[in-house]
Amino acid sequence: MELLVVGTVAYDSVKTPFGERKGVLGGSAAFCAMAASYFTDVAIVAVVGEDFADEDRRLLESHQIDLSALQTVNGAKSFHWQGEYGEDMNDARTIRTDLNVLMDFDPVVPEAFRSAPYLFLANIDPKAQLKVLDQLDSPRLVAADTMNFWIENSREDLMRVLPRIDVLVINEAEARQLSGEGNLFSAARSLLSCGPAMLVIKRGEYGVLKITADSIFAAPSFPLEKVFDPTGAGDSFAGGFMGYISSKRNQAPETMRRAAIMGSVMASYNVEDFSMNRLASLSREDIEARYNAFRRLTEFGDL
Amino acid sequence: MELLVVGTVAYDSVKTPFGERKGVLGGSAAFCAMAASYFTDVAIVAVVGEDFADEDRRLLESHQIDLSALQTVNGAKSFHWQGEYGEDMNDARTIRTDLNVLMDFDPVVPEAFRSAPYLFLANIDPKAQLKVLDQLDSPRLVAADTMNFWIENSREDLMRVLPRIDVLVINEAEARQLSGEGNLFSAARSLLSCGPAMLVIKRGEYGVLKITADSIFAAPSFPLEKVFDPTGAGDSFAGGFMGYISSKRNQAPETMRRAAIMGSVMASYNVEDFSMNRLASLSREDIEARYNAFRRLTEFGDL
């Protein structure tokens, strides 16, 4: 097992201008692991309720995702998120959040996974992220995501996560919110001083920025006339990013740039359908074709 | 003379979080011509009042910008724009617009300029853009800009401009507004069907998209911790874009992509100071250095 992902496995009820789906598979760890599964061996540390469907378990397992650390709580329900997207597909409006099994989630990393070389702390309570960090031996690379809810309500815990990770994956508004800086590059400098050596700033339809102390890389998002459902775009980005790095087993600058493109590839496929319908049905050829499309989208050559 | 620019030469009063300037040189044609002057021979077709200062005339002329078609109206004042930018530097708030000499502007293209191979119709009343088009022989490439004011108040004239141009340079919100399409790529398809073979969509801090019927090119903006004054960014983009194309004398796809980067280079320098203070003091080395910085900002190589 190369990549350990801690986060949520959830049921989502989503409404977009293109339709509506109720109680479909989602969650930060599920999207991330599915995207990463095309590149490397992945295991999930998460919790579900007794309502978790066999077919969803089988879908994840059919992608060789290791579910041996997926806890099931009897007599309780899985985490449920209900959200809606308007014409501007960049921001979700949360209608309802039922934490359910997440309330008492105590992540346990099995002995066999403690030496995992790559760790992704997907969006979840920073307390859970810290507990996982405490159980790992010494991963080669740790990345983490978060969201506005934790910035507002668990800032202290979150600030304890930052010095222990290598890469912070965060969206643009959250980078400003967490740093208190209006200019994005000032925000990035401030966040880099809190611990991580690298920031990946997600900008929705505007792509991503990868920022270190001495370099910036900018990647656009893939041009799509129809974004069916943005849910999980950030998580599938992270899955492509971490999966690609795990498969290369190095963190050279060119690996990290290509990883950011691979993340963008996976996110672009994910938003083409509801839940992970598209993300779960890709071929190696699909992925390479879109990577090459990103090349054509961005290249301009020397003067 | 290679590139003819019609538009405004104005005095701007601008307030940004970094300071305030009153009555400084601005206007769509002035910013565009200044940026283009680093690449090609430029002439301006515009109008000013008797308040137009000798030092501003000398500044433009010191960049070999031909002012022989710059009309001066005695007893009248130059166009004056007053605007303010908040923390979000992407959008200007117009405080006041004094059209002054623009009210009765009747653009006259001197005989010597009628065979100009490249024409840029900078942001101005589409009636004036049409009058200039009527006076030109058969330019190799015509590009035009516009703004929300004309989309709202002169839509019919604007729609008569579109079939007569090759490239429409427009910002993201205006592309949506003019086409009535929420998705940007649907908006682009709709606008391409109105005439121009190419769209250049300006997205402020998110860069630009260059779109034709069968290709899309995405360029980021240059990462800057301090944007002193965004005024003229779009016009200096257009100047770098058109100036570079004029200097290459071809419209091959790779020329057009590099032209979009060169536009971004000029826009990025322009916003580093008020008015055209930075834009007017560049060296060839500055321009090449930033072009190369754009290469490093975006390149990621093959899989």
Q: How far is CA B93 from CA B85, B169, B192, B207, in A?
A: 6, 21, 29, 21
B295/A302 Cβ within 8 A: yes
Mean pLDDT for the stretch of residues B21-48: 98
- At A151, which amino acid appears? I
User: B258-271 pLDDT, tens per residue?
Assistant: 999 999 999 999 99
Burial-class residue B212 by CB neighbours within 10 Å (0-12, 13-18, 19+): middle
Q: What is the ipTM of this complex?
A: 0.94
Which tokens go with B156?
């019919």
Angstrom distance (rounded) from CA B274 to CA B18:
10
User: B148-190 pLDDT, tens per residue?
Assistant: 999 999 999 999 999 999 999 999 999 999 999 999 999 999 9
DSSP B200-254: EEE-GGG-EEEEETTEEEEEPPPP-S-----TTHHHHHHHHHHHHHHHHT---HH
Determine contact, residues A264/A222, Cβ cutoff 8 Å.
yes
A258/B303 Cβ within 8 A: yes
Task: Examine the pLDDT at A67 and tell me if it is beyond 80.
Answer: yes
Task: Examine the pLDDT at B293 and tell me if it is beyond 90.
Answer: yes
B288/A295 Cβ within 8 A: no
Q: How far is CA A44 from CA A55, A133, B157, in A?
A: 17, 14, 60
B299/A257 Cβ within 8 A: yes
Looking at chain A, list the stretches that DSSP marks H as alpha helix, in order from N- to C-terminal side: 28-36, 54-62, 126-135, 148-153, 155-161, 172-179, 184-192, 233-248, 253-270, 284-298
- Under the banding of pLDDT at 50, 70 and 90, the label for residue A27 is very high
Task: Examine the pLDDT at B47 and tell me if it is beyond 80.
Answer: yes
Residue A87 has a pLDDT of: 78
Angstrom distance (rounded) from CA B102 to CA B78:
8
Task: Examine the pLDDT at A254 and tell me if it is beyond 80.
Answer: yes
**What is the total residue count of chain B?**
303
Question: What is the H or E stretch that residue B129 is in?
Answer: helix B126-135
Residue B116 has a pLDDT of: 98
Cβ burial A122-141 (10 Å sphere, 16+ → b, else e): bbbbbbbbbbbbebbeebeb
Mutate to test the interface with A, among B85, B214, B300 (most CBs of A within 10 A): B300
- At A76, which amino acid appears? A
Question: What is the H or E stretch that residue B261 is in?
Answer: helix B253-270
Please give the model's pTM, rounded to 2 decimal places.
Answer: 0.96
Helix, strand, coil shares of chain A, percent, nearest 5, are 40, 25, 35
| Residues paired with B43 in a beta bridge | B4, B66
Taking contacts as CB-CB distances below 8 angstroms, the residues of chain A near B217 are 297-298, 300
- Look at the block and give the residue holding tokens 């050559």: A301
Taking contacts as CB-CB distances below 8 angstroms, the residues of chain B near A199 are none
Task: Examine the pLDDT at B103 and tell me if it is beyond 80.
Answer: yes
* Contact partners, residue B121, CB within 8 Å, separation at least 6: B6, B7, B129, B132, B133, B142, B143, B144, B145, B161, B165
Determine contact, residues A168/A200, Cβ cutoff 8 Å.
yes
Residues of chain A with pLDDT > 90, as a percent, come to 96
**Number of A:B CB contacts under 8 A?**
94
Q: How far is CA B183 from the centre of its chain?
A: 24
- Look at the block and give the residue holding tokens 């930018």: B85
Q: What are the contacts of B63-66 at 24+ separation with CB within 8 A? A: B63/B33, B63/B34, B63/B37, B63/B38, B63/B280, B64/B37, B65/B33, B65/B34, B65/B37, B66/B1, B66/B41, B66/B42
Determine contact, residues B238/B202, Cβ cutoff 8 Å.
no
Task: Examine the pLDDT at A217 and tell me if it is beyond 80.
Answer: yes
User: Of A203, A206, A217, which has the smallest distance from its Cβ to B297's Cβ?
Assistant: A217
Q: Compute the nearest-CA separation of A14 from chain B (Å).
A: 20
Task: Examine the pLDDT at B91 and tell me if it is beyond 80.
Answer: no
Q: What are the contacts of A28-31 at 24+ separation with CB within 8 A? A: A28/A122, A28/A123, A28/A124, A28/A145, A28/A232, A28/A235, A29/A5, A29/A122, A29/A124, A29/A235, A30/A60, A30/A232, A30/A235, A30/A276, A31/A232, A31/A235, A31/A236, A31/A239, A31/A270, A31/A276, A31/A279
Q: What is the dihedral of CA B170, B239, B280, A216, to 10 degrees?
A: 70
Q: What is the dihedral of CA B134, B213, A229, A280, to 10 degrees?
A: -170
Round the average pLDDT of chain A to a whole number and report it: 96
User: Of A182, A216, A226, which has the smallest distance from its Cβ to B223's Cβ?
Assistant: A216
Round the average pLDDT of chain B to a whole number and report it: 97
B215/A220 Cβ within 8 A: no
Taking contacts as CB-CB distances below 8 angstroms, the residues of chain A near B182 are 87-88
User: Of B220, B254, B302, which has the smallest distance from its Cβ to A301's Cβ?
Assistant: B254
Determine contact, residues A241/A208, Cβ cutoff 8 Å.
no
Determine contact, residues A241/A144, Cβ cutoff 8 Å.
no
A254/B301 Cβ within 8 A: yes
User: What top-level class would CATH report for the domain A3-298?
Assistant: alpha beta
Q: What is the rounded end-to-end Cα distance, in angstroms, of chain B? A: 45
B interface with A, Cβ–Cβ < 8 A, is 87-88, 182-186, 189, 203, 205-207, 209, 215-220, 223-227, 254, 257-258, 260-261, 288, 291-292, 294-303
- Look at the block and give the residue holding tokens 């604007």: B158
User: A145-155 pLDDT, tens per residue?
Assistant: 999 999 999 99
User: Of B185, B298, B301, which has the smallest distance from its Cβ to A258's Cβ?
Assistant: B301
* Contact partners, residue B77, CB within 8 Å, separation at least 6: B49, B50, B51, B98, B100, B101
Task: Examine the pLDDT at B244 and tell me if it is beyond 90.
Answer: yes
Task: Examine the pLDDT at A90 and tell me if it is beyond 80.
Answer: no
Residue B60 has a pLDDT of: 98
- Under the banding of pLDDT at 50, 70 and 90, the label for residue B43 is very high
Question: What is the H or E stretch that residue B81 is in?
Answer: strand B79-85
Angstrom distance (rounded) from CA B144 to CA B248:
19
B300/A217 Cβ within 8 A: yes
Closest-CA residue in chain B for A261?
B300
* Residue A113 DSSP code: G
Residue B303 has a pLDDT of: 86
Determine contact, residues B53/B29, Cβ cutoff 8 Å.
no
**What is the total residue count of chain A?**
303
Residue B88 has a pLDDT of: 75
Q: In terms of DSSP bridges, do strands B79-85 and B19-26 run parallel, antiparallel, or are they unpaired?
A: unpaired
Angstrom distance (rounded) from CA B104 to CA A58:
73
Backbone angles phi, psi at B139, to 5 degrees: -60, 150
User: Of B207, B225, B295, which has the smallest distance from its Cβ to A183's Cβ?
Assistant: B225
Q: Where are the domains of chain B?
A: 3-298
Residue A137 has a pLDDT of: 96
* Residue B51 DSSP code: T
